[in-house]
A and B are shown apart, each in its own frame.
Chain A
Amino acid sequence: MKVRHWAGLACVAGMALVLVSCGKKEESAENKAAPAAQPAAAPVDAATAGSVSGAVKFVGAVPKAKTLNMAADAACAGAHSGPVSDLEVVANASGDLANVIVYVKDGLGNRAFEAPKDGAQLNQEGCMYTPHIVGMMAGQTLSVKNSDKTTHNIHPVPKNNREWNKSQPPGSPNINEVFARDEVAIPVKCNVHPWMKSYIAVFKHPYFAVTDAKGSFEIKNLPPGTYTIEAWHERFGTVSQSVTVGAKEAKTVAFSFKPDSGD
């Protein structure tokens, strides 16, 4: 009887652990097959290339920015003379929305693009990530710098790339990493300072831009064609529209996010 009890309890515990532990689908990026090599395509003809520019707005009452509490680390708190706000929603009174990544989602066909030799930069300064949104190409090097007088850990949490978590004490050399696959967008966090958040958007092509403080963006050197242009915001999700760019045409588009827009 006693043995039966213990065996029963062990079975219940074991089953519960297996069920709960496996509740979240684990996707090992390492185990995924490498993306098939794209056939080489004709280079973009600069003489006919056009551009897409425009602005992104937030329609409605802009959510109030939240104040960060950096008291957990004196080096962080001491790096700022006043209160620091989080960068989740950065918009001015007119609704011009910064930190939106606008990119070509579809329409490039089987064109292949080489990653630039220069690395994308992500700095840790005042215990904040700069820039807040990084756009880069698959295969391009991401160079992470620590300008602070305190230790950070850099922990991207991708779904389609290899996850890594590295520490970076003050004064240590830059961390250089590469993301092999396109992904919009990879959250990056520092578990030492849990308010530190950033996103890295990785593309197979160079046609992306991050909106500035006025909500403006420009995607240059785009070959003539019809494209789906998408705008991604970390809180409001995505909006997209179809745009046809003619030879040497400078197209202007506008995106707007509402509190309930997105996926």
Chain B
Amino acid sequence: MTPQYHPGLHRFAMTLTACTFVLLIAGALVTSNDAALSVPDWPLSYGTLTPPMVGGIRYEHTHRVVAAAIGLLTVVFAVLLWWKEKRAWVRWVGIAAVLGVCLQGFLGGLTVLLNLHYGFPVEHASLAQVFFGTVVGLALFTSRWWLSDQPALEDRDSPSIHTVAFLNCGVIFLQVVLGAGFRHKNIPIWPHLIGALAVTATVTWTGILLRRRFEPVRELSRARILLHSIFGTQFLLGIGALWSRMSTADAPQPMPVMVAWTVIHTVVGALTFACAVVIVLLCYRLVPRTGDVAVAASPAETAAS
């Protein structure tokens, strides 16, 4: 069966992506305002759905409400995918998103109930990035562009663009994890600083290879420029976030300047990771790997086997 473009599905996926980005902002606000434990119980807040919205409760409860809404949206989207989508693997990605958002909620609960111990805040923050990457992927898979015919580009160089794009994505994810570890006081700052250098290297390498091998390809060129732009911004935001932390280290409470810098740095980090995910997916969509080309080039052999 030929997969069909469903504008409604794609719009739903885009909405889910945008809402997830809002959820990332809400989560970053909780951490930066040291408000995660302002509501000691879970899943209810102070035993109710409508706790007093004062101080840190405002951040924590808002985060929970937005998260619950995202959970519902994800379930609805997975049901729509199962109903409308012809590609089984996309339907399963939708199921994976539901499992991811459920696990994420569970990790959030454990984070609160176990008083931020046992690494749960870092795991919660890291899974948030994976979930964001998943819904970004779903938005791409359901797009008209993904479903339309695309030219099969050739990449005979080594290492393959897939390998480099994957490496870039993995290093950015690692950096996001290190950032979460630092924010949650599990590790010092220096691993995150070294991670920034590693990301600089992989982003630059990915950009160079994309430009050398696929400069005329509009999608890959745009993605490359976008990745460089977001990462450049993120690097500067990182410097700003570090400065804001150092300059307010003696403050008796989280200061707005620190909260603003770190929240923006955190969510732009998520955008950087999402952009890297998109580049990986674009590479797989546009550039058949060597094995795929060989198989495609010999249908008789394929039929014989």
Contact = CB atoms under 8 A, between A and B. Distances in A.
A39 interface: no
Nearest to B188: A23
A151 B126 contact: no
B181 interface: yes
A167 B39 contact: yes
B40 A5 contact: no
Contacts of A75: 54
B187 interface: yes
A163 B187 CA distance: 21
Interface string A17-32: 1001111101000000
Interface stretch (A46-54, A92-100, A188-196, A216-224): A188-196
Interface in B167-210: 169-170, 173-174, 177-178, 180-181, 185-187, 191
A92 to B, nearest CB: 20
Contacts of B55: 72-73, 76, 150, 192-194
B253 A20 contact: no
Contacts of B36: 191
A146 to B, nearest CB: 13
Interface residues of A, number: 41
Interface string B78-90: 0000000000000
A69 interface: yes
Contacts of B174: 12-13, 16
Nearest to A9: B170
Interface string B267-291: 0000000000000000010000101
Interface in A156-196: 163, 165-167, 169, 190-195
B191 to A, nearest CB: 8
A13 B173 contact: yes
Contacts of A8: 166, 170
A20 B191 CA distance: 10
A17 B46 contact: no
Contacts of B46: 151, 167, 169
A71 to B, nearest CB: 10
Interface string B132-174: 0000000000000000000000000000101100100110011
Interface in B32-89: 33-41, 46, 51-52, 54-58, 60
A86 B252 contact: yes
Give the residue among B58, B181, B250 with the most A Cβ atoms within 10 A. B181
- Nearest 7 interchain pairs by C-beta: A21-B119, A20-B181, A191-B38, A192-B55, A23-B186, A86-B252, A23-B187
23 contacts: A2-B162, A2-B289, A9-B169, A12-B174, A13-B174, A17-B123, A17-B126, A20-B180, A20-B187, A21-B123, A24-B185, A24-B187, A68-B252, A72-B55, A150-B52, A151-B51, A163-B117, A165-B40, A191-B34, A191-B35, A192-B54, A192-B55, A192-B57
Given A20-B178, A165-B40, 5 more contacts: A20-B177, A163-B115, A167-B39, A190-B38, A194-B254
